Structure 1
Amino acid sequence: MNRKLPPFAAIRAFEAAARLGSMQSASEELYLTPSAISHQVKALEVFIGAALFERKPGRLTLTAVGTTYQNDLRESLNLIEAATERASRRGETDHITVHMFNSLAELWFVPMLKDFHDEYPDMQISVICEPVGADFASGIADISVVYDRIRSDGEDRLLFIDEITPCCSEQFLKDHGPFETLESIIDLPLIWCESDPDEWLSWFEHAGLGDVEPHRWISFDQRARALQAAREGLGFAMARRPYMELDPYRTQLIQPLELVAPTGCAYYVDVPQRAEHLAKIKIFKNWLMRVSRSLFPSAAIFPGDAQPH
């Protein structure tokens, strides 16, 4: 039988917008743009032949047809969701695809991965390090570690708050130190990471040195290479959480200056709505949170002294 059904993407867009009362909120939930949500809803209205929303400035209200359609859809979608969950339990594997950017995977996640496999030997992990955010709508990533502005409502997903302070090798400190003032490093080689080109400017501004122009730069395209250069005594790199809490950086680099500058950003665990109920996702997320808390039990991340760190 050839069923007369609208595109499921349009149904999802309408259901989310109706439930949340906003195209913007629906777009955030479905990882689409507000324009895409609006187009999907309009397509559904054309398919049905009736308006589902009354669109007024700053307000989205269901029509009588829209209200009835939402109520009818709710029961159908609940049945689809329940059937899908039952099927996914039968077919569920212990495989998780994790998304994070490259330096975080290389310097933080991979060094910890053996501990995870020791604790959960049957779990299979795939890591993708695309330069853009995780496309949850495509179903490729099950969980993502993201770098974002600090969220007022993100405490239950917070891994660590980002702060920055210059670091160098102990030999570099012996050769060029002591560094008694913040200005004392301006004429020394500064190692610049192209993935975050403004971090030195931000630190200098917090130091009250926003108008200075350092003379000697070395640049790298990856955080790991920048920190490696600092370990080799080539100059000051920018230390930031979580890298400086892990070997070999924890034992081979020091932070001789007192100023630790906030970036206003943090690392969070994001999980798509479709995966939040899965046991394997809960296990992995809880493990990430536990590891983070063990590394950073308090908000402060740098001791602000010249001890190896």
Structure 2
Amino acid sequence: MGTVNRNISLRAMRVFCVAAERESFRETAELLFLTSSAVSHQIKQLESDLGFKLFERTPRSLHLTADGTALYDDISPLIADFDSVIAQNTRVQQSRSLRISVQPFFASELFVPRLPEFVEQNPDIEISIDTSDESPEKHPRTADVSLRIFKTPPDVLACERLFPLRLLPAGTPDFYDAIKIRGSKIVSPFPLVIHESRPKAWREWQRSSRIKLPDHANGIRLDSMIAVARAAEQGLGAALVPKQLSNSWFESSALVQLFDHELVTRDAYYLVCRAEDRDKDEIRLFREWALQNFTDDT
């Protein structure tokens, strides 16, 4: 009984089989993502281990020897069977992905700070987050799930209400100290920071609070809630900011609440997805987590 050379590797046998089929070390290297010199070295090592030549080499051709042909006929089916067994017994973990669209201020102030918990609980879900779309009343086609403001979500979407949009008047501490009120009217300078998507919000706050704004209050208009809050933080005026999204600003005293009255709008933040996708595993997991973290009925 002959001794078995245990130095011969399965990898070398794979390289040999491909080289035998291609009759080219260059093509073998390209297929196996190796260099031509690496292929040549493995074949020479295999010939040394086996004790016979596998290929006849000329400057322009490569052909199997008789011994090489016999080895290929024996080993090629075994390599194929081995690959088949490995494939049948390997669990391929299906990668899962989730595309989330979140309005920018919600993302920066509430969603991203709490996101690590979801990532830790679901490490196999690849998450892509789009925060570029400020617009309300829409579920982007490219998103699997979105967190957005709606008055009334469309019936074709699966929607779950998170919390109502409540707007608080906010400004810097110095701005607050400079406010003067006579009766129920603000008589000191009171420049307004206005979100372009809610140009009438200050008027609605004035009506519901019964606190009259100056007759000719100057204003600056901005197209995102992040910019609105930053403008107020820089002392450019008073801004109406979402109550549930502004806690960090108030806790740090970057902003203070200027009046007790808050404007309760008809809008609310919703968790939204396509109805047919509602029970997909990754969306179900996200829905359950979001409802635990962002629901506020107060």
Name the TM-score, length of structure 2 as normaliser.
0.58
Aligned counterpart, 2:110: 108
Post-superposition CA distance 1:10-44 (Å, at most 9, x none) = xxxxxxxxxxxxxxxxxxxxxxxxxxxxxxxxxxx
Q: Determine if the alignment matches structure 1 residue 160 to structure 2 residue 149.
A: no
> Which residue number corresponds to residue 202 of structure 1?
204
Q: Which residue of 1 aligns with 2:225?
A: 223
Q: Which of 274, 290, 293 is the matching residue for 1:291? A: 293
Written as runs of structure 1 = structure 2, the 5 A alignment for 1:233-248 is 233-245=235-247, 247-248=248-249
- Kindly indicate whether the alpha-carbon contact (under 8 Å) linking 1:169 and 1:231 is maintained by their aligned counterparts in 2: yes
Note if contact 1:161-1:241 (Cα within 8 Å) is conserved in structure 2.
no
CA shift in 2, pair 1:248/1:212, >3 Å: closer
Using the aligned pairs only, state the percent identity: 21
- 1:169 corresponds in structure 2 to 172
How many residues end up aligned between the 2 structures?
Answer: 201
Q: How does 1:127-138 map to 2 (within 5 A)?
A: 127-128=129-130, 129-130=132-133, 131=135, 133-136=138-141
**For 1:269, what is the secondary structure of its paired residue?**
strand
1:276 to 262, 275, 278: 278
- Secondary structure, counterpart of 2:256 in structure 1: coil
Q: Matched residues in 1 for 2:263 and 2:182: separation? A: 18
- Find the aligned partners of 1:215 and 1:179 in 2 and give their Cα distance: 14
Give the deviation of 1:163 after TM superposition. 1.4
Q: Which residue of 2 aligns with 1:68?
A: none
Deviation (angstroms), 1:161 = 0.6
Question: For residues 228 and 276 of structure 2, what CA distance do their matches in structure 1 show?
Answer: 38
Aligned-residue offset at 1:231: 1.8
Give the structure with the larger strand fraction.
Answer: 2
**8 Å Cα contact 1:203/1:261 also seen in 2:** yes
Structure 1 residue runs without a partner (length 5+): 1-89, 300-309
**1:192 partner SS:** strand
CA distance in 1, matches of 2:183, 2:119: 45
1:1-309 equivalences under 5 Å are 93-128=95-130, 129-130=132-133, 131=135, 133-136=138-141, 140-149=142-151, 157-174=160-177, 176-177=178-179, 183-184=185-186, 187-208=189-210, 213-245=215-247, 247-252=248-253, 253-293=255-295, 296=296, 298-299=297-298
Give the structure-1-normalised TM-score. 0.56
Alignment match, 1:9 = none
Give me the whole-angstrom Cα distance separating, in 2, the residues matched to 1:171 and 1:115: 37
1:167 to 1:155, Cα distance in 2 relative to 1, 3 A: farther
Per the alignment, residue 37 of structure 1 pairs with none
Aligned 8 A contact 2:158 2:275 in 1: no
RMSD between aligned residues: 3.2
Provide closer, same or farther for how the CA distance between residues 94 and 248 of structure 1 changes in structure 2, counting only shifts above 3 A: farther
| Contiguous gaps of at least 5 residues in structure 2 | 1-91
SS in 2 for 1:271: strand
- State how far apart, in whole Å, the 2-side matches of 1:105 and 1:258 are: 26
Larger Rg: 2
Structure-2 change in CA distance of 1:169 and 1:211 (3 Å): closer
Q: Distance in 2 between matches of 1:180 and 1:92?
A: 67
Which amino acid is 1:270 matched to?
V
Task: Check whether the contact 1:143–1:281 (CA below 8 A) recurs between aligned residues.
Answer: yes
Give, as a single letter, the amino acid of the residue that structure 1 aligns with 2:100. V
Deviation at residue 255 of structure 1 after TM alignment: 1.2
- CA distance in 2 between counterparts of 1:283 and 1:214 reads 51
CA contact (8 A) 1:191 1:226 kept: yes
**Match of 2:220, as an amino acid?**
I
Q: After superposition, give the CA deviation of every residue in 1:198-254 in whole Å (9 maximum; x if it has no partner).
A: 211221222346896442212222111111122222221112133213x24443222
Q: Per-residue CA shift, 1:124-178, capped at 9, x if unaligned?
A: 2212343472245xxx321122211267x9998111111122111223223x046
Q: Which is richer in helix?
A: 1
Task: Check the 8 A contact 2:179/2:188 in 1, yes or no.
Answer: no
Cα distance, 1:271–1:186 mapped onto 2, change above 3 Å: farther
AA paired with 2:98? I
